[in-house]
Amino acid sequence: MNKGICFGLDELTRPYDKFEIVRIMVRILFHISRRERNRSYIGSELMRDIFAKTGINIQCKGTYISPDNIWSDDRVQMQYRIL
Pairwise pLDDT comparison (45 vs 64), residue with the higher score: 45
CB 69 within 8 A of CB 44: yes
Query: What's the confidence (pLDDT) of residue 59?
Result: 84
| pLDDT (average), residues 21-44 | 70
Query: What's the confidence (pLDDT) of residue 35?
Result: 56
pLDDT band for position 39 (cuts 50, 70, 90)? low
Within 1-83, residue ranges assigned H as helices are 2-11, 20-30, 43-53, 67-71
Q: How far apart are CA 56 and CA 80, in angstroms?
A: 16
The secondary structure of 45-67 as a DSSP string is HHHHHHHHHTT-----SSSS--H
Q: What's the whole-model pTM score?
A: 0.56
